Structure 1
């Protein structure tokens, strides 16, 4: 650690505290513009700025002793080192100037007795009130504090190309320290958990498509969909396709799997992952919205429809701590409208006897149970299935009731919610459902954008060349004063 390294971290943090775009995107841009930075220095910058974001309200409290200080970002990093990492002033003396040493003594001596619970939880007041209303004060504080920790690195083994025991054995054989740095995930039959974070993207198991980075909770959602061989399955909000690829593997590369999303950029990322996966049953389509006309021909065709809905992401605060400062009650209210609309549209894609799965990575009842209950009230042709029973049928012992509800402090995963609905058969006889091959032929008649292709093709097709983002200039050493954290 050097004075210059602390200065660089403060420059990045000051930029992140504007909260005008995702923290991970800004951090990645900084590293692209500073390619000569060493691995250890990169790790310090990333860990320190994310550490401050996780504990921002608490750290703002212990540093709030002067007004108009132009070095607030640097002071926040110093407070993180002293009050969160447990560093002593003596350990840091060599990298601090005289003024910073004065700060250090004030920060170290600052009393934190009787802090408001929302400050201890490190969330805004509105979010704290919602968590307390749902879980009670004690559990709300436990949940919030569990988000102060860094998430584990979870991997999913791609069963099209390998099995968990063999992959685990290879990682163990590579470990020369003698310590066990990998274990099987407790719930997902295909998951592995790394004790330390590695650059998996360059590992041979990753480049060969035998593993994917995927939180265990996300893996469990794919099992909750329970796709089977030969089925027609749709992922209506596929994004970069982590769950899509997991479902394709569970289908053993049979049937027809459709990935829909409004973002061509995310689907392009799915195309890159598809090449490694070995799957050939996946068809990715760009749509303008849930009401895109190209979906009309598919009404009533799907055995399974997954809606991994756009949400606040408040279950992923271990990975994305900036979300708890960026999201607002108004954002959640707008998301609720979008969630209800997408779920209602997905219901029309589901065939009789088929299942519709609604999922979020949110902790809030507003985005979870409330949406599920409203959907059932408006759609009497659907019934709620017991999530625990569906998992039990696949030898997964995890009982959270009718809904799947995962919490970091209980399950060591991101926070997830999911509900499974089954579409009831009509009382009158219905026409025989067309086989997947006939349906696939119908789909090809629709004018559509092919965003990802089967791995046998030479290149993943896109409608237009992806524009490379312009790199912003690196900020000057002077650190701007960050915005104050409001309750």
Structure 2
């Protein structure tokens, strides 16, 4: 695409709308596109890539640009990270702009402080220093600066992976089987999958491989009673329903009516008849309490900082803080305790977050186990091996984009004793 002054102007306007970051960047961008319906597919793709690219590299850009405005951030990003050369940009900018852009291109990333190289705020860099070496922090930060691939989950109720791969190829969409999830496909590039017949007929859903692996840890059986405690828009609930061949019963709990409404068309496409969305007020809702002691499997994908998804949601670096994480930790502990009451003796609970911070992960689980002696910790590597999944990160499942090419997901599996000791 040949860049024009109009492209720069529109992308700058989009960035100006996003940068206060009072709401998630993707939702602000969707609203911007609705308000500018004449933008073509290529225009939207350029704007989205530029906005998210700037959010990924904002610490560096704001450090080296004298006056960081939406326009100067855009120009700096295009020159330093988007691969545009000065010859392409010169016709679009003033002589003064061309001069500072040339200087910016010459700045070496390696000369910057660790927090700038890793693109982490100081408070997060300080937290990471508590359990990681500097090289590990830098590697994590760099891996989070790369855009995430597009992963699909094949709906085993309606199709198999080999069939879907062949159909995608016939549509000119290239992909490959994911290395860990037996139901996963990783696409090359970012094709518009939501209009593809495989998607509209429910044979595939968009779901990161890390999220898919939670289903294999939970391993529901066909006639089980299952609760997805923080279901959101229901991607994991749909996966569990397919595992169960639409038998048994799954309750998809969430406190957001909007998120559960987003599940409805997905549920209709899926072919499932065993999934029941349930709106709850909080973790102590009567709908939850009525199921105490009746459930075989519980999935708790807890509200968290989301820092493991920075490849997709780079704005979270500015929208989270030490204070917000303290609030999340209290919520995580309360949700886990409430969800645990649902289990039958011998039942299994999987606690998960999309965070790499131990205080949201291992520490929550350890505090829970100390207060609930009837629960034992299962080994995630062994549970995955039972499903013929060659992934061993130890007792806990801890995934990272650098090592596993997934989001930064954490999971722990817990079992309630069959009888009181």
Q: State the TM-score, normalized to the length of structure 1.
A: 0.84
Q: 2:303 aligns with which of 310, 317, 326?
A: 310
Matching residue of 1:28: 30
Q: For residues 223-302 of structure 1, what are the structure 2 equivalents within 5 Å?
A: 223-302=216-295
Give, in whole Å, the separation in 2 of the partners of 1:119 and 1:421.
38
Residue pair 1:158, 1:249 contacting (<8 A) in 2 also: yes
Greater relative contact order, per chain length (Cα 8 Å cut-off, separation 6+): 1
Residues 305 and 356 of structure 1 are in contact (CA less than 8 Å); yes or no, is this contact kept in structure 2? yes
Q: Using a 3 Å threshold, how does the CA distance of structure 1 residues 347 and 74 change in structure 2: closer, same or farther?
A: same
Looking at structure 2, the residues matched to 299 and 404 of structure 1 have their Cα atoms a distance apart, in angstroms, of 27
- Pairwise CA RMSD: 1.3
Q: What residue is the counterpart of 1:214 in the other structure?
A: 207
Matched residue, 1:167? 164
Alignment of 1:422-437 (within 5 A): 422-427=415-420
Question: Matches of 1:377 and 1:427 in 2, distance apart?
Answer: 16
Q: CA deviation at 1:14?
A: 1.9
Identify the residue that residue 187 of structure 1 maps to in structure 2: 180
**Which whole-Å deviations, capped at 9, do the CAs of 1:281-333 have from their partners, x for residues lacking one?**
01111000000112222100000011100000000000000001110000000
CA contact (8 A) 1:13 1:49 kept: yes
Alignment of 1:56-71 (within 5 A): 56-63=58-65, 65-66=66-67
Over residues 141-179 of structure 1, what are the superposed CA-to-partner deviations in whole Å (9 max), with x where a residue is unaligned?
10111010100000000011111000000111222xxxx
Structure 2 CA distance, aligned partners of 1:113 and 1:365? 28
Structure 2 gaps, min length 5:
none
- After superposition, the Cα gap between the structure-2 partners of 1:105 and 1:287, relative to the gap in structure 1 and judged at 3 Å, is same
- C-alpha displacement at 1:102, in angstroms? 3.1
Q: Which runs of 5+ in 1 are unaligned?
A: 429-487
SS in 1 for 2:411: strand
Higher Rg of the two aligned structures: 1
TM-score (norm 2): 0.97
- The 5 Å alignment of 1:60-459 reads 60-63=62-65, 65-66=66-67, 72-110=69-107, 112=109, 114-175=111-172, 181-427=174-420
Q: 2:109·2:117 contact (CA, 8 Å) conserved in 1?
A: no
Q: What CA distance in whole angstroms lies between the structure 1 residues aligned with 2:40 and 2:360?
A: 42
Question: Does the 8 Å contact 1:236/1:261 carry over to 2?
Answer: yes
SS in 2 for 1:290: coil
CA distance in 1, matches of 2:78, 2:360: 36
CA contact (8 A) 2:110 2:117 kept: no
Distance 1:109 1:400, change over 3 A: closer
**Alpha carbons of 1:131 and 1:427: their partners in 2 closer, same or farther (altered >3 Å)?**
closer
Quote how far apart the aligned CAs of 1:111 are: 5.4
* Whole-angstrom CA distance in 1 between matches of 2:284 and 2:153: 33
